[in-house]
Amino acid sequence: MSTSFENGINTLKEVIDAPIAAYFSSCTNCGICAQACIFHTETGDPKYTPIRRVEPMRRIWEQEYTLVGKVKKALGLSKPVTQQDLEDCVELAFESCTTCGRCSMVCPVGNDIVYMIRRMREGLTAAGLAPKSLQEAAVRTLEKGSVMGFPMKTLEAMVKAAEKETGIDINIDKPDVDYLLLLSSAEVMQFNEIIASLAIIFKEAGVTWTFSTLAHEAGNPGMHMGASDIEAQMINRIVQAAEELNIKNVISPECGHAYMAIRWEGPNVIGRPYPFKVFHIIEVLDQLREQGKLKTTGCESERITFHDPCQAARRGGVNQPQRNLLNMVSSNFIEMKDSMACNWCCGGGGGMNTIEKAEPLMAKVFNRKRTQIEELDVTTVVTMCATCRNTLEEGIENNNMNVEVVGLTELVANHLLKEKKS
Amino acid sequence: MNEVELLNWARGPGLMYATIIMVFGLTLRIFEILSLGRPKELAEIRDSGVRDGWMTILKRSLPEPAHWKLITASYIFHVGLLVVIFFFIPHTQLFRDVFGIFWGGWPNYVIDFFTVLSIAAMLYTLVTRFYDPTRRILSKMSDYFAWVVTFLPLLTGYMAFHRLGMDYTTMLAVHILSVELLMISLPISKLTHAITFSMARYYTGSNNGRKGIHS
């Protein structure tokens, strides 16, 4: 994609749709969104008020799409958006926002502010202002099919190790199976026990599945950047893989943004509906539970809680399956205050965890999650997003907290009832 | 033009022009929004989202605990304004004359109470725009303009009723003119939210509803 100031402005004009026009028409600058944003509540800095993050787009909307704005523009009464305005916006739209969407849940006039922030990012990216780390991640994903740059052969090595560990054959590029499984980079790199866990779970459940060499990861930096062309390329690989292998169900990994990209945005960025269904891995496990195909044994008796990943829960609508599974393997699951759709973000999402200069701010805003966890006096925090898991682990370590972080799939796998089958 | 002529103009042609501008302007604003279109949802939805759209219109009127002082003040003046506009007997008589529907009205002392309460609440919201750092940094001229044109009818109405300031006829004319200023401002200022809030809430609610989220 060629980038320039003009492209940025044109993109911002293009992305303004009826909802955004209704949002800007309705905003009274009341400031209530500030109280929902960790960057505001944990720093007290008014500049982090969510609606301020889209001010250049508001001005473009007013000048281009309202009669009053057009008159003001003709009379020279309004300032056109400048390169400097866009540059100033990078900090607010990319470097201090995880696009968690909590602000969108409290706005009294109902504005979906993060819907607008995501469009604002599209304009900034078209203007060539996307953070370098995200651009690099996008290049890696386009070249190697992996956000962190792990080629398929890295995954193949992991698969071999998991086969050895479990004694179960794991398919790669096998057509006509029940599920195509996608992973996140963090799972390949750090949390690869998930491969063995799922191999066991699926074998016990009697479902067939495969990896694909064409698309092995679902991570999509194009989505964080707001580069729909890059996002679409990544989605198209997955679509092609599922179509070629004739698979009707695609599994999104324990990764919030990957779920958002492949489940909700994918068909819209490629411009056509999928010929398959997409589920978050936790939705799949819950379906297996419901069908009686997922049997567990034993219960965690220690106090555990759950951190809802913003993109999967609040923005993605996966709120109940994780609770069904938690209650299956724990007798002492305690809800965090403000859970599910109103959960507080860990501070690492939206691509922020890739931006080095945002690290001190991320560490600061983790304070909210720290307080929430400490209030509950738990031994374990369970989650279902690799980015959240990383952020939680880092925050917990930095704050010398005595709490363990576990992925939900892994927790379920630890309690799996393995039936001897002849 | 003497005060009687001014009052007659305000009650007659003034009110007519203001109504035309308000209705035409708001229709245009709604058209401006709708004409931008809404992208078709191609992902497999969990629900049509229609019910959640309507529910969000209602639910976002429920108070949020954070920022409770501002919310309380906002509630008071929004409710107060509606009460004063639609239940002050002379107002209801005007609606009867124009629309042919009459719903009585509330005693003057009730209206007086709501007027004073609304004025106080509005002053509070103005003060917070100056002193709350978050609201100060957000506030623009357009926010203060919206505040002024909303405040004036309350103030002038109160003054006219209590025979304060100018003579009654002039004060009443000023009050009606201030209402006309408010009516004209509706489509060209932040006050458009009085209509478009329901659109914003519906869009958000239905988008969320499609994903199975109740907002």
For residue B103, which of B94, B112, B113, B114 has the smallest C-alpha distance?
B94
Report the pLDDT averaged over residues A135-150: 90
The predicted-structure confidence for A252-269, as pLDDT tens digits, reads as follows 999 999 999 999 999 999
Number of domains in chain B: 2
Within-domain flag for B25: no
Amino acid at A87: E
Strand (E) or helix (H) holding B129: helix B108-131
Same domain, B74 and B115: yes
- DSSP letters, A191-209, are -THHHHHHHHHHHHHT--E
Last residue of a domain, one of B139, B159, B188: B139
Same domain, B156 and B212: yes
Last residue of a domain, one of B113, B139, B165: B139
Same domain, A121 and A154: no
What Cα–Cα distance (Å) separates residue B42 from each residue in A397, B201, B210?
42, 21, 11
Within-domain flag for A351: yes
Within-domain flag for B95: yes
- The answer to whether A316 contacts B211, with C-beta atoms less than 8 Å apart, is yes
Q: Considering only CB atoms, which chain A residues are within 8 Å of B204?
A: 19, 104, 107, 110-112, 115
Within-domain flag for B19: no
Q: The domain containing residue B192 runs over which residues? A: 142-215
Report the pLDDT averaged over residues A341-352: 94
- The answer to whether A264 contacts B28, with C-beta atoms less than 8 Å apart, is no
Same domain, A269 and A322: no
Q: What is the dihedral of CA B109, B114, B115, B120, to 10 degrees?
A: 130
Same domain, B71 and B114: yes
Q: Considering only CB atoms, which chain B residues are within 8 Å of A28?
A: 143, 146, 190, 193
Residue A307's DSSP bridge partners are A383
Amino acid at B6: L
Last residue of a domain, one of B139, B172, B192: B139
What Cα–Cα distance (Å) separates residue A58 from each residue in A9, A12, A21, A111?
12, 10, 9, 13
Same domain, A59 and A11: yes
Same domain, B173 and B133: no
Same domain, A202 and A81: no
Within-domain flag for A91: yes
Same domain, A139 and A282: yes
Q: The domain containing residue A358 runs over which residues? A: 304-414
CA distance B152 to B158: 10
pLDDT at B206: 97
Same domain, A68 and A167: no
Kindly state the percentage of chain B with pLDDT values over 70.
Answer: 100
Give the number of beta-carbon pairs within 8 Å between A and B.
167
* φ, ψ for residue B44, nearest 5 deg: -70, 115
Select from B70, B201, B215 the Cβ nearest to the Cβ of A109.
Answer: B201
- The answer to whether A273 contacts B42, with C-beta atoms less than 8 Å apart, is yes
Same domain, A251 and A308: no
- The answer to whether B32 contacts A111, with C-beta atoms less than 8 Å apart, is no
pLDDT at B98: 87
Q: Considering only CB atoms, which chain B residues are within 8 Å of A15?
A: none
CA distance A84 to A86: 5
Select from B32, B66, B190 the Cβ nearest to the Cβ of A65.
Answer: B32
- The answer to whether A268 contacts B42, with C-beta atoms less than 8 Å apart, is yes
Same domain, A172 and A239: yes
Within-domain flag for A227: yes
Within-domain flag for B181: yes
- The answer to whether A31 contacts B67, with C-beta atoms less than 8 Å apart, is yes
Token duo for residue B42: 């191609």
Within-domain flag for A297: no
CA distance B196 to B193: 5
Cβ–Cβ under 8 Å, residues A171 and A209: yes
Same domain, B148 and B162: yes
Within-domain flag for A70: yes
Average pLDDT for chain B: 95
Residue A340, sorted as left (phi over 0), alpha (psi -120 to 50) or beta, turns out to be: left
**Sign of the dihedral through C-alpha A377, A382, A383, A386:** positive
Contact map slice: A 175-214 vs B, CB within 8 A: none
Last residue of a domain, one of A268, A290, A312: A290
Q: Considering only CB atoms, which chain A residues are within 8 Å of B205?
A: 110
CA distance A47 to A167: 55
The predicted-structure confidence for A296-328, as pLDDT tens digits, reads as follows 988 889 999 999 999 999 999 999 999 999 999
Q: Considering only CB atoms, which chain A residues are within 8 Å of B203?
A: 18-19, 22-23, 110, 112
Q: Which letter does DSSP use for residue A183 in this model? A: B
Same domain, B175 and B212: yes
Question: Is A23 part of the contact surface with chain B (CB cutoff 8 Å)?
Answer: yes
pLDDT at A419: 64
CA distance A218 to A210: 14
Confidence of residue B104 (pLDDT cuts 50, 70, 90): confident
Q: How many CB atoms lie within 10 A of CB A264?
A: 23
Q: Give yes or no for residue A190 having a pLDDT over 90.
A: no
Smallest Cα distance from B97 to chain A, Å: 32
Select from B43, B137, B139 the Cβ nearest to the Cβ of A266.
Answer: B43
pLDDT at A1: 65
Last residue of a domain, one of A126, A142, A169: A126
Q: Give yes or no for residue A121 having a pLDDT over 90.
A: yes
CA distance A72 to A66: 10
- The answer to whether A17 contacts B37, with C-beta atoms less than 8 Å apart, is yes
- The answer to whether B200 contacts A109, with C-beta atoms less than 8 Å apart, is yes
Longest pairwise C-alpha distance within chain A: 84
Smallest Cα distance from B64 to chain A, Å: 7
Same domain, A114 and A147: no
Same domain, A393 and A271: no
Report the pLDDT averaged over residues B102-119: 95
CATH number of the domain that A351 lies in?
3.40.50
Helix (H, G, I), strand (E, B) or coil at A180: strand
Within-domain flag for B194: yes
For residue B7, which of B127, B170, B189 has the smallest C-alpha distance?
B170
- The answer to whether A27 contacts B193, with C-beta atoms less than 8 Å apart, is yes
Within-domain flag for A420: no
Which candidate in A13, A109, A228, A286 is best for mutational testing of the B interface (most B CBs within 10 A)?
A109
Q: Which letter does DSSP use for residue B166 in this model? A: S
Within-domain flag for B167: yes
Smallest Cα distance from A26 to chain B, Å: 4
Within-domain flag for A140: yes
Select from B60, B192, B213 the Cβ nearest to the Cβ of A108.
Answer: B60
Q: Give yes or no for residue A240 having a pLDDT over 80.
A: yes
Q: Give yes or no for residue B1 having a pLDDT over 90.
A: no
Angle, CA B77 vertex, CA B71 and CA B78 arms, to 5°: 85
Question: Is A272 part of the contact surface with chain B (CB cutoff 8 Å)?
Answer: yes
Confidence of residue A422 (pLDDT cuts 50, 70, 90): very low
Q: Considering only CB atoms, which chain A residues are within 8 Å of B134?
A: 31, 34, 40, 46, 49
Angle, CA A126 vertex, CA B29 and CA A309 arms, to 5°: 80
CA distance A376 to B78: 39
Give the helix ranges, DSSP H, for A102-261: 103-106, 113-126, 132-144, 152-166, 185-189, 193-205, 221-225, 228-244, 256-259
The predicted-structure confidence for B141-182, as pLDDT tens digits, reads as follows 999 999 999 999 999 999 999 999 889 999 999 999 999 999
Within-domain flag for B180: yes
Same domain, B97 and B152: no
Within-domain flag for B129: yes
Within-domain flag for A422: no
Last residue of a domain, one of A75, A103, A126: A126
pLDDT at A334: 96
Same domain, A194 and A250: yes
pLDDT at A149: 87
Which candidate in B24, B28, B35, B36 is best for mutational testing of the A interface (most A CBs within 10 A)?
B36
Question: Is A231 part of the contact surface with chain B (CB cutoff 8 Å)?
Answer: no
- The answer to whether A46 contacts B134, with C-beta atoms less than 8 Å apart, is yes
Helix (H, G, I), strand (E, B) or coil at A416: strand
Same domain, B135 and B147: no
Interface predicted TM-score (ipTM): 0.96
Same domain, B194 and B148: yes
Cβ–Cβ under 8 Å, residues A53 and A89: yes
The predicted-structure confidence for B12-70, as pLDDT tens digits, reads as follows 999 999 999 999 999 999 999 999 999 999 999 999 999 999 999 999 998 777 778 88
* Unique residue bearing structure tokens 């990216």: A125
What Cα–Cα distance (Å) separates residue B65 from each residue in A36, A111, B215?
11, 18, 16
Q: Give yes or no for residue A420 having a pLDDT over 60.
A: no
Number of domains in chain A: 3
Question: What pTM does this model have?
Answer: 0.95
Same domain, A180 and A121: no
Question: Is A104 part of the contact surface with chain B (CB cutoff 8 Å)?
Answer: yes
Q: Considering only CB atoms, which chain B residues are within 8 Å of A26?
A: 192-193, 196-197, 199-200
The predicted-structure confidence for A358-370, as pLDDT tens digits, reads as follows 999 999 999 999 9
Helix axes A55-65, A5-15, angle to 10 degrees: 70
pLDDT at A222: 94
Q: Give yes or no for residue A418 having a pLDDT over 90.
A: no
Q: Considering only CB atoms, which chain A residues are within 8 Å of B46?
A: 317
Select from A16, A25, A36 the Cβ nearest to the Cβ of B196.
Answer: A25
Q: Considering only CB atoms, which chain A residues are within 8 Å of B190?
A: 27-29
Token duo for residue B131: 């002193």
Helix (H, G, I), strand (E, B) or coil at A60: helix
